[in-house]
Amino acid sequence: MTRSCSTVVSSFLLALGLSVLPPFVLPGAAQTLTERLKQETPAELAEAARREGDAIRGAVIFARSDQGCAGCHSSGGVDQVGPDLSRLPSDRTDEGLIESILEPSRILREGFATTIVTTIDGNSIAIRTVAKDDARLVGREIAPPYRRREFLAAEIEAIETSSVSSMPDSLPNALKNRGEFLDLVRYLIELRDRSAANDVAERSEPLRREIDRTTLGLNLIDRLGCRSCHTIEAWERYAVGAITADRAPRLEQVAHRVDRSWLESFLLAPESTQPGTAMPDLLKGLADDERESAVDDLVSFLIAQGDRPFRRDPVDAEAAHRGEEIFALVGCVACHAPRDAMGRELPTPDSVPLGSIAPKYSIESLTEFLEHPHEVRPAGRMPDLQLDHFEASAIANYLLQEQQPADLAGAEIDRAAVARGEARFRSLGCSRCHDLIPAEPAPPIPIERIDRGCLGGEGGPWPHYTLSDDERVLIAEVLTSEADEPSKSRRIEFAMATLGCLACHERDGLGGVTSARDHFFQTSDINLGPQGRLPPSLTNVGDKLRPEWLRQVLVGGRSIRPYMATRMPRFGAENVEGLLTLFAEVDDRPARERSTPQDESETRRVGHELAGNTGLNCIACHTFRLEPSETMSAVDLTEMAERLQRDWFEEFLKAPQRFHPNTVMPSFWPGGRAIRTEILDGDTDRQIEALWVYLDEGRQANPPRGQKREPLRLTAGDVAVMLRRSYPDVGKRGIGVGLPSGINYVWDAEGMRLALLWHGDFADPAGVWLGQGHGNVRPLGTEVVKLPAGPELQYARRPWQPEQGRPSEPRFDGYTLDAERRPTFRCAVGELEVTDSIRESMRPDGRVGLTRTLTFSGTLPDEPLTFRLAVGTKIEPVDGEGFAIDDRWRVSVVEGPEVERTTDGDAISLRLTVDRAALERPWIIDYDW
Amino acid sequence: MRRNRTDERAWTNVGNFLGRSTRAERMAIGRSVLLALIGCGLSTIGAGAQPLGDTWGTAEREAEYYRIVDLPIPEGMALEAGSLEAMPDGRLAIGTRRGDLLLVDGAFDEHPQPRFRTYASGLDELLGLAWRDEAFWVCQQTEVTRIRDLDGDGQGDEFRTLGDGWGFSHYHEFAFGSKPDAEGNIWVALCLSESYEAKVPYRGWCVKVTPDGRTLPVCSGIRSPCGIGPNEHGVMFYAESQGPWNGSCSLKVLQQGGFMGHPASYAWYDLTDALGPKPPEMESGSRIETQRERVPQLVPYAVVFPYIRMGRSISGFTIDRTGGRFGPFENQIFIGDFSLSVVMRATTEQVNGVWQGACYPFREGLATGLLACEFTPAGDLIVGGTNRGWPVRGPKAYALQRLDWTGKTPFEIERITAASDGFDIEFTLPVDPETASRPEAYRLGTFTHVYQQGYGSPEVDRTVPKVSRATVSDDGRRVHLTVDGRVKGHVHEFDLSPLRSADGESLLHVDAYYTLNEIPRE
């Protein structure tokens, strides 16, 4: 039985396609790392790990997703697939740790077997059972993303249990080499050594609480706008100073926003037109024909308010398709019901119903509403998800796919009807909820009894709400219960429930993403585990975040988790003012007193070292200045100090799992003791202080050692590439040119000369394009030929002196580009204009060199002008075709005057005289190297 | 009123999930800080903290009036806008620090989805750009160049050097070029070799390059410019950075033959007599106000921007000629700041023949360090830049953003001008006459800077003038202050936080700073 089960489990694991499984190994193929490691004894490996292993590197490997260690064994994690390694029994030997990695099934710890649950609808799910009773089975999926699952007994068809570990026995194969294995083991040894000192109490996930009935009742009172007519003491006690009251939509542009016929049917029968609406039926007390004329009058009045017409545009199917994805990902479905492939709402608990909105909106008006929801609904109950215009439009197209062409007939404005409509608007009390027309504040209507009127269910001269019995009871309970003074914590919960925070965030066990919606919370970086996709807990958030930051999050929608698909929305400043104050009052603790470090810059230097790959290697996982690390894109280090409170930062670093059960963040101070003992004498507090002082520089902090860099390379494509910049041995006025044939040169616009030549790729511009740009462009060729400095064209009798600085002549006039974007340079000496085209050319032996064509026009200067062809210490003729210079390069005058050779000490120069003949025939000069 | 604009998106990391450009943000910026510490100029503080100070704290309210609209940059494009030009054909031209000249379609659309095309590349730090007579006129480090597309393929193929008559030997020798003036001249402000030296010819001078290729000296004494162009009256100004001989950043007038205050560039008086005689040696530790009596060439700094409170590296500026489509600040200077990623306003006036004026906070929370700004034909303000090389508050390596007026008029100090007995203050909306006629509602202070060779200066010689009377105009838009104890040569700071509009609103920005070089005669 056991055997067959293990086969079941193995094949099941295969079916899951676990990323942790080893590559399939052919018989006779080279040995895997696991096999090689097994050839050593555990004692040998343990000895090597103690001697050579690096616990910090091991911690990063532990967190790395291709290992999957942290997915199942997070330190301090809760109800995980595997045992918490920070609580290993201290008698667990080093050798035992090694055996558990190499042969995980040999000793399977109790309670960590794999269970395969087959449900009645035929699905099989492999879990580790964490709780079980007669009614249900709770477990953790053994494959990423390691979801917690609950099965009701009635759903379960069969349960099978295996004694084989769910940990594959070939995990080490995903490591690069034996060294990494030793690093990992060394980290586990450190964890075990500290497990005794680990004072973190064993905990399980906070008990999930339900929202209490008072809060539910108050939410309902808030949403239905009861306060517009009545004074409700309980609401005041909870809400004043915590949250603004909900307000009915603004109606100024309702004619633009909604379809007229929809508006008519909505006024006639609000609940059946838009199920779940907070709008009561105000006309129920009227006779049928009277109701219809009332609706006509009201609609006429409302239509007359706006200055923009309602306009239907055809649905853009492609936008609708994009909208489907955006709707599912950005957070719409945190509150609204998700939809099936046909776009129909799936029945999902706790959903704000949208109903059939296609008849109501136009694509244009829904787009505008989604972009700026608070302009219509200022109370922030529909938060602003920071959709840009195109995202909003895509969602609008998606949600309105079913729309029919509007009946736009009868849009004539009947002035008399408008006036009647305004009178009805006043007399029906619409102004109590809608700010549309100036109205005297209406006095509150005392609540005399709760079994009649709005709550009574029968028609009459009052607003008629369609409420379930339970909703009536909820409201009645609030109205009749003894008035207690709610604690600030209770008021926070009320505000969070009302604003919808609890749909995404948990606080003290209340709220958070429900299992029905869990799979809509996605991430672009699965390496971050659940933290990468689920919005953070808000337990003690006022202790964690600085108040200014928290404000920017709630008001400005600021976020630091670009990998999280669900967006933090904005709620509007006035709507969260009270909540921000309450968070600070309830959570914030007085800051611990600290002395400033004696030598701040030295402390910062150590912090920089700790963050880098020779310290704690924070940079291995964390983003730095928007640049994700190689391993994953954990939150940006340069925003830590701006976000976090200092005390929280310190406590978090000491025990990350206390704050985030199942975090992939390893502990570098397990049990409060430093792993890196050689820095600051292993003093935990001083190490953390150093990190803080370093991070406190924010975006201006020096990048830690080990940050990955993308190299910069400029190469020619189909056409030439050019870069005017500083080049080595040329100066600041270099003009580098890379030709598609792999020939590159630099022309110097200060000396008007050819300056550098090389073969291969063009250049690395990092020296001038990064930082302040104080460096040079670096030619990518290995052998760069440097031609002599100073101008090529000079007056023969007053040669250029190197110490002269910039020569006043020749003058640079610019260049033109040909179709391949190859330049022809132009310069001038006096009235003599010179052009210089440098092109690649094929030699008879098939090699590619450069051919330079120089033209001269205008007037020759009065004094003799020479052109420097070459300078060297060794210049020899080559087969009657040109000269070899210092055995480095060759130059050959194909067309042009006789070459003049002069010697000055060791230096030999080759020169050409610019004479009248040059005005008639271009010079052609070949360069090879 | 305009509606339906892409909403405010001052922060960086929203919305990347659905495939917006993130690669561009990820391009290597790794060495920048290290190099910044090695470099000179703006970052002489060394390895310690690089304080960028507190924000104004007004971004949240500013967004009601001026929305920040992102112009998305294609993935992988390292767009470091150094200069901008709104083309008559509805395209935006961008000159970049990396040397590209890009043409952008769709940048002015209500919901921009810009499309970029390269017109020219491989140039050297494009810090000046204009389109005139079917050609681009650009200023790069090395020269002023006219670029034309002769074969009509949409790419420049003729690059004519109009003027390069200055030395260039150090990367920090930036050259900022104006748009052509009425005569077609491009004015070029030439940064010193470093903060303290002028190693090669004309570093620290302004020259103008004529359309026919002559290069003419204008004035001396520049330190580290970061923007150049006409003020709202058409007179050429430049933006100077805090440093030696500059207690804080300032806008200065490029007066022919004038001396802008940094004496390192005296050497070039030996090369030309175009500016007349060399000024006498400067006395470090003095005040501008004292030195200008001794040195006639010294042009007092027209608008001083108090350090950190009003930027740390003021940069490119432009004039609102939108005819009111950008709100109530027609004919004012809009100027960015590189370090603090903010946009500010300034107004100038000539008093007793001397230029002076005031600066005002405008909008914070831009995404990168700003180098250039330009109004679009629709009357929106496009800003762009990079955060590389020096400390910058804006988090993005590259960003192109647009400030769109929402149509709501903020309650702001519209401008402050000097009067013979005090100041006149105009407001964008009528003030509440009750609060505005109380002299104690106007909190004034004055200070100046030490004029010295050392880097920057503390604010010194503080005084507190007394407002003896505040007279509100009939329409409530103007208040005349009678002030005792103004100090000639000092920056006068205004804190008007007690004021309210006629509707009871508080000022969006309560601060303004007027540099009182001259007091108007009766």
- What average pLDDT does range A465-488 have in this prediction? 89
Whether residue B172 and residue A774 make contact (CB cut-off 8 A), yes or no, is: yes
Same domain for A887 and A802, yes or no, is yes
Identify the residue among A307, A322, A363, A388 best suited for mutation to test binding to B, counting B beta carbons within 10 A and taking the highest: A388
Same domain for A463 and A547, yes or no, is yes
pLDDT value, residue A413:
79
Same domain for B110 and B226, yes or no, is yes
pLDDT range class, residue A408, cuts 50, 70, 90: low
Assess whether pLDDT exceeds 70 at residue A405: no
Same domain for A816 and A736, yes or no, is yes
**Residue at which a domain ends, from A564, A588, A612:** A588
Same domain for A187 and A217, yes or no, is no
Assess if residue A201 is contained within a domain.
no
Same domain for B92 and B212, yes or no, is yes
pLDDT value, residue B37:
32
- Give the minimum alpha-carbon distance from A275 to chain B in angstroms, rounded to a whole number: 29
Assess if residue B69 is contained within a domain.
yes
* B60 CB within 8 Å of a chain A CB: yes
- What average pLDDT does range A473-482 have in this prediction? 90
Share of chain A above pLDDT 90, in %: 59
CA distance A443 to A571: 30
Which CATH number characterizes residue B226's domain? 2.120.10.30
The β-bridge relationship of strands B398-405 and B381-386 is antiparallel
- Give the minimum alpha-carbon distance from A417 to chain B in angstroms, rounded to a whole number: 29
pLDDT in tens, A27-58: 445 688 888 888 999 999 999 998 888 888 88
Identify the residue among A311, A642, A724 best suited for mutation to test binding to B, counting B beta carbons within 10 A and taking the highest: A724
Same domain for B509 and B393, yes or no, is no
Which CATH number characterizes residue A616's domain? 1.10.760.10
- Give the minimum alpha-carbon distance from A447 to chain B in angstroms, rounded to a whole number: 36
Q: A198 versus A172: which is more confidently predicted?
A: A172
Residues of chain A in contact with residue B110, where contact means CB-CB under 8 angstroms, are 389
A405 prior amide bond cis, ω within 30: no
* B9 CB within 8 Å of a chain A CB: yes
Assess if residue A705 is contained within a domain.
no
Same domain for B373 and B441, yes or no, is no
Mean pLDDT of chain A: 88
Assess if residue A816 is contained within a domain.
yes
Assess if residue B484 is contained within a domain.
yes
Same domain for B264 and B158, yes or no, is yes
Assess whether pLDDT exceeds 50 at residue A26: no
Q: What are phi and psi of B274, to 5 degrees?
A: -60, -30
pLDDT value, residue A196:
57
Same domain for B183 and B301, yes or no, is yes
Ranges of chain B with pLDDT below 70: 1-51
* B165 CB within 8 Å of a chain A CB: no
Same domain for B343 and B433, yes or no, is no
- Give the minimum alpha-carbon distance from A628 to chain B in angstroms, rounded to a whole number: 7
Whether residue A329 and residue B121 make contact (CB cut-off 8 A), yes or no, is: no
pLDDT value, residue B46:
32
E strand or H helix at A759: strand A753-759
Query: Which of B5, B39, B388 is the closest to A774 by Cβ?
Result: B39
CA angle A436, A442, A443 (to 5 degrees): 160
pLDDT value, residue A280:
93
pLDDT value, residue A141:
84
Q: Which residue of A has its CA nearest to B109?
A: A389
**Residue at which a domain ends, from B405, B430, B457:** B405
- What average pLDDT does range A693-709 have in this prediction? 90
Which CATH number characterizes residue B429's domain? 2.60.40.1220
Same domain for A672 and A787, yes or no, is no
Assess if residue B9 is contained within a domain.
no
CA distance A790 to B269: 26
pLDDT value, residue A74:
67
Query: Which of B14, B41, B395 is the closest to A386 by Cβ?
Result: B14
Same domain for A429 and A448, yes or no, is no
A788 prior amide bond cis, ω within 30: no
Number of structural domains found in chain B:
2
Same domain for B288 and B422, yes or no, is no
Assess if residue A713 is contained within a domain.
no
Same domain for B426 and B492, yes or no, is yes
Assess if residue A711 is contained within a domain.
no
- Give the minimum alpha-carbon distance from A243 to chain B in angstroms, rounded to a whole number: 19
Same domain for B446 and B340, yes or no, is no
pLDDT range class, residue A881, cuts 50, 70, 90: confident
Instruction: List the one residue out of B453, B440, B336 whose CA is nearest residue B385.
Output: B336
Assess whether pLDDT exceeds 90 at residue A630: no
Share of chain A above pLDDT 70, in %: 93
- Give the minimum alpha-carbon distance from B189 to chain A in angstroms, rounded to a whole number: 18
Whether residue A812 and residue B161 make contact (CB cut-off 8 A), yes or no, is: yes
Range of the domain at B431: 413-516
Assess whether pLDDT exceeds 50 at residue A288: yes
Over B392-432, what HEC string results?
Answer: CCCCCCEEEEEEEECCCCCCCEEEEEEECCEEEEEECCCEC
* B167 CB within 8 Å of a chain A CB: yes
Cα-based distances in Å from A378 to A246, A266, A281, A366, A441: 8, 22, 23, 16, 19
Same domain for A415 and A453, yes or no, is no
Whether residue B389 and residue A326 make contact (CB cut-off 8 A), yes or no, is: no
- Taking a C-beta distance cutoff of 8 angstroms, is the pair B441, B496 a contact? yes
Same domain for A466 and A385, yes or no, is no
Residue B121 has which token pair? 């590349």
pLDDT value, residue A59:
83
**Residue at which a domain ends, from B356, B374, B405:** B405
Same domain for A559 and A646, yes or no, is no
* B1 CB within 8 Å of a chain A CB: no
Whether residue A749 and residue B142 make contact (CB cut-off 8 A), yes or no, is: yes
Assess if residue A745 is contained within a domain.
yes
Identify the residue among A375, A576, A769, A772 best suited for mutation to test binding to B, counting B beta carbons within 10 A and taking the highest: A772
The position carrying tokens 């920071």 is A386
- What average pLDDT does range A305-319 have in this prediction? 91
pLDDT value, residue B487:
98
Q: Which residue of B has its CA nearest to A560?
A: B13
Assess whether pLDDT exceeds 80 at residue A109: no
CA distance A126 to A164: 12
Number of structural domains found in chain A:
5
Assess whether pLDDT exceeds 60 at residue A745: yes
Query: Which of B111, B172, B397 is the closest to A390 by Cβ?
Result: B111
pLDDT range class, residue A10, cuts 50, 70, 90: very low
Q: Which residue of B has its CA nearest to A328?
A: B18
- What average pLDDT does range A309-329 have in this prediction? 93
Assess whether pLDDT exceeds 90 at residue A193: no
Assess whether pLDDT exceeds 80 at residue A390: yes
pLDDT value, residue B51:
67
Whether residue B50 and residue A700 make contact (CB cut-off 8 A), yes or no, is: yes
Taking only residues 102 to 131 of chain B, the set having a beta carbon closer than 8 angstroms to any beta carbon of chain A reads: 110-111, 113, 121-125
Residues of chain A in contact with residue B191, where contact means CB-CB under 8 angstroms, are none
Residues of chain B in contact with residue A567, where contact means CB-CB under 8 angstroms, are 14-15
Identify the residue among B11, B139, B160, B338 best suited for mutation to test binding to A, counting A beta carbons within 10 A and taking the highest: B11
- Give the minimum alpha-carbon distance from B101 to chain A in angstroms, rounded to a whole number: 13
Q: How many CB pairs under 8 A join A and B?
A: 216
Q: A694 versus A192: which is more confidently predicted?
A: A694
CA distance A434 to B288: 61
- What average pLDDT does range A271-285 have in this prediction? 90
Whether residue B156 and residue A772 make contact (CB cut-off 8 A), yes or no, is: no
Same domain for B293 and B436, yes or no, is no
CA distance A810 to A801: 14
pLDDT value, residue A62:
83
CA distance A332 to A347: 15
Instruction: List the one residue out of B265, B11, B437, B254 whose CA is nearest residue A558.
Output: B11
pLDDT value, residue B339:
95
pLDDT value, residue A197:
54
Range of the domain at A564: 207-246+442-588
Same domain for A405 and A452, yes or no, is no
Global ipTM: 0.90
Same domain for B317 and B456, yes or no, is no
Residue A132's Cβ-count burial label (10 Å; 0-12, 13-18, 19+) is: middle
Least confident window among A192-206, A282-296, A306-320? A192-206
Whether residue A771 and residue B157 make contact (CB cut-off 8 A), yes or no, is: no
Cα-based distances in Å from A919 to A535, A916, B10: 77, 5, 62
Residue B60 has which token pair? 């949240």
- Give the minimum alpha-carbon distance from A723 to chain B in angstroms, rounded to a whole number: 4
**Residue at which a domain ends, from B372, B388, B405:** B405
Query: Which of A712, A733, A816 is the closest to B28 by Cβ?
Result: A712
Assess if residue B10 is contained within a domain.
no
**Residue at which a domain ends, from A649, A666, A700:** A700
Same domain for A437 and A459, yes or no, is no
Assess if residue B11 is contained within a domain.
no
Residues of chain B in contact with residue A766, where contact means CB-CB under 8 angstroms, are 28, 31
Taking only residues 217 to 276 of chain B, the set having a beta carbon closer than 8 angstroms to any beta carbon of chain A reads: none
**Residue at which a domain ends, from A419, A441, A463:** A441
Taking only residues 377 to 396 of chain B, the set having a beta carbon closer than 8 angstroms to any beta carbon of chain A reads: 387-393, 395-396
